[in-house]
Amino acid sequence: MADTAAALSHVCVHFPGKALGPIDLAVAAGEIVTLVGASGAGKSTTLRLLAGLERPSQGTLTRAAGPGRTGFVFQSPTLMPWADAAANVALPLELSGLARDAARQRAVQALADVGLGDRSDARPNQLSGGMAMRVSLARALVTAPDLLLLDEPFAALDSVTRRRLIEDIHRLWAARAAPPAIVFVTHDVEEAVYLAHRVVVLSSASGRVTADLPCPGLLPRPDGWRTEADYRAAVEAVAGALEAAMGEAR
């Protein structure tokens, strides 16, 4: 069995007026898992738990990756408006103690990896939405994380830009000798299936996992290409599981 990158075991979170869980979710090293569920099902909370940003009220979190080995991309790029792209990307390296010049050099490389090699000096207000999200992705990847958490990072972007970004994420994932585990939240079923090895569906009512479906994906993988028919069948299966999970709340 593959090493576990992160796992939630019987985790419950109690917010005022809302209880989520118990959530059981294990992500293997190098695995790409997408989380889908209705609005309010607990997808962002699950990511925050995996990142160690939210404390379980009950249950346990296991993480192979330390805090410095986890990258998080939020729904909006959350860039410092006064700093250029390279300074934004360099921030986690500087916070971990790397000298400013060395951090900037690595940040410029990380920007080149996401296709922004010529925009290191640009301020966030000089970037398109897709470019700003690429800067945010570069900032999450610059520390070579073992666990990459993506919380609907493309929600505000057009479909062509989204597809390109997903393919870039897959390319960067595959380029690493030891690829990071990725947990990716999306509302888009096709997008979920396109990138994932597994799609996990959360119940609208409780945040529990109601379905855990292996996916063929369409991107090249070590275990080979799959057919369009396999992909369509997986999309149908995930859409059905999502509808059933949403029905639980009615």
Ligand X SMILES: Nc1ncnc2c1ncn2[C@@H]1O[C@H](COP(=O)(O)OP(=O)(O)OP(=O)(O)O)[C@@H](O)[C@H]1O
Least distance between ligand X and beta carbon 187 (Å): 7
Least distance between ligand X and beta carbon 75 (Å): 7
Query: Which residue, 43 or 139, is less far from ligand X as judged by CB?
Result: 43
φ and ψ at residue 198, rounded to 5 degrees: -145, 140
φ and ψ at residue 102, rounded to 5 degrees: -65, -40
Evaluate the omega torsion of the peptide bond into residue 22 and state whether it is cis, within 30 degrees of 0.
yes
Q: Is 217 exposed, middle or buried (0-12, 13-18, 19+ CB in 10 A)?
A: buried
Least distance between ligand X and beta carbon 151 (Å): 7
Query: Which residue, 43 or 208, is less far from ligand X as judged by CB?
Result: 43
Query: Which residue, 12 or 64, is less far from ligand X as judged by CB?
Result: 12
Query: Which residue, 50 or 86, is less far from ligand X as judged by CB?
Result: 50
Residues that bind ligand X (CB under 6 A): 15-16, 18, 20, 37, 39-45
Instruction: Give CA–CA dist 43/37, Å, rounded.
Output: 7
Least distance between ligand X and beta carbon 45 (Å): 3
Instruction: Give CA–CA dist 138/131, Å, rounded.
Output: 10
